[in-house]
C-alpha cells in the first residue's frame, strides 16, 4: 500500500518537475525581457528602498529558524514578513514604525538588538558588571601582593598570593 503510494507520489513529482522546468524557462525568458526593459528605461526599481530594506531585514529575526535574520531565511513566514515589511515601507512607514509593527506581534525577540529596559538590564550591563568584578579581584590581588614583605615572599608565584599558606611557615619560624 505504502509502496504503491510512494510510486504514485514519484510520478506526480516527476510530472511536476517537468512542468516546473517549462514554467521556469518561461519565467526566465520573462525575467530577461523584464531586466532588459528595466535597463532600457532606467531605474524602474528603487535601489535606495532595496538597500534600506536589506539593512532593516538584517536586524530582524525570523521566528521559524531563530538563528537567521529575516533577510537570510527561506521560511515561508520570513517570505511573508519580508513582503509585509516592503509594503509598509512603500506605504511610507519609517524603520521604527516597521520595527514597532513587528514587535507588537512577535515581541522583542524579533529584534536582533534588544531594547534597553528593566528586563534586559542584565543582558546589556551584565558583561560589564562581570568585567568590573574581575578587575576588582585582580586589583585586590595585586595590591595584597605588593603589600607583602619582599623578603617573606616565596619564589613560587602560585603561592605568592596565598596569605594563609605564606603565613604558616612564618608562624612556624616565629615559634
Partner 1 sequence: MPTTHATAESRAVPTKWLRWSLPLAIFLVVLGFLFVGLFRDPREVPSPLIGKPAPAFSLAQLHRPEQTLTTQDMRGQVWLLNVWASWCVSCKVEHPLLVDLAKANVVPVIGLAYKDKPEDGLAWLAANGDPYRLSIVDRDGRVGIDFGVYGVPETFVIDKSGVIRYKQIGPLTADALRQTILPLVRELQKS
Residues that bind partner 1 (CB under 8 A): 63-64, 66, 76-77, 80-81, 84, 103-109, 144, 147-149, 163-164, 167, 170
b/e code 84-107 from CB counts within 10 Å (16+ = b): ebbebbeeeeeeeebbeebeeeee
In whole angstroms, how close is the CB of 147 to partner 1 at the nearest point? 7
In whole angstroms, how close is the CB of 61 to partner 1 at the nearest point? 9
C-alpha distance across the termini of the chain, in Å: 94
Whichever of 71 and 77 has its CB closer to partner 1, that residue is 77
Q: Determine contact, residues 145/160, Cβ cutoff 8 Å.
A: yes
Angle between helix axes 47-58 and 76-90 (nearest 10 degrees) is 130
Whichever of 95 and 161 has its CB closer to partner 1, that residue is 161
In whole angstroms, how close is the CB of 91 to partner 1 at the nearest point? 14
Give, in order, the Cα–Cα distances in Å from 142 to each of 131, 145, 161, 162, 165. Answer: 16, 5, 8, 12, 17
Whichever of 39 and 123 has its CB closer to partner 1, that residue is 123
In whole angstroms, how close is the CB of 19 to partner 1 at the nearest point? 18
Whichever of 95 and 108 has its CB closer to partner 1, that residue is 108
Amino acid at each position: 500500500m505504502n509502496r504503491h503510494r510512494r510510486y504514485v507520489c514519484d510520478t506526480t513529482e516527476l510530472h511536476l518537475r517537468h512542468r516546473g522546468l517549462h514554467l521556469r524557462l518561461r519565467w526566465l525568458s520573462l525575467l530577461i525581457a523584464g531586466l532588459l526593459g528595466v535597463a532600457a528605461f532606467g531605474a524602474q526599481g528603487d535601489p535606495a528602498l532595496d538597500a534600506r530594506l536589506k539593512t532593516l531585514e538584517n536586524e530582524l529575526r525570523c521566528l521559524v529558524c531563530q538563528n537567521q535574520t529575516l533577510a537570510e531565511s527561506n521560511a515561508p513566514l520570513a517570505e511573508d514578513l519580508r513582503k509585509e515589511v516592503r509594503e509598509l515601507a512603500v506605504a511610507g512607514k519609517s524603520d521604527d514604525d516597521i520595527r514597532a509593527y513587528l514587535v507588537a506581534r512577535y515581541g522583542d525577540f524579533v529584534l536582533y538588538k534588544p531594547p534597553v529596559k528593566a528586563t534586559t538590564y542584565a543582558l546589556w550591563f551584565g558583561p560589564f558588571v562581570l568585567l568590573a568584578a574581575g578587575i576588582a579581584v585582580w586589583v585586590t590581588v595585586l595590591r595584597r601582593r605588593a603589600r607583602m614583605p619582599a623578603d617573606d615572599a616565596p619564589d613560587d608565584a602560585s603561592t605568592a598570593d596565598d596569605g594563609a599558606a605564606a603565613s604558616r611557615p612564618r608562624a612556624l619560624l616565629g615559634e
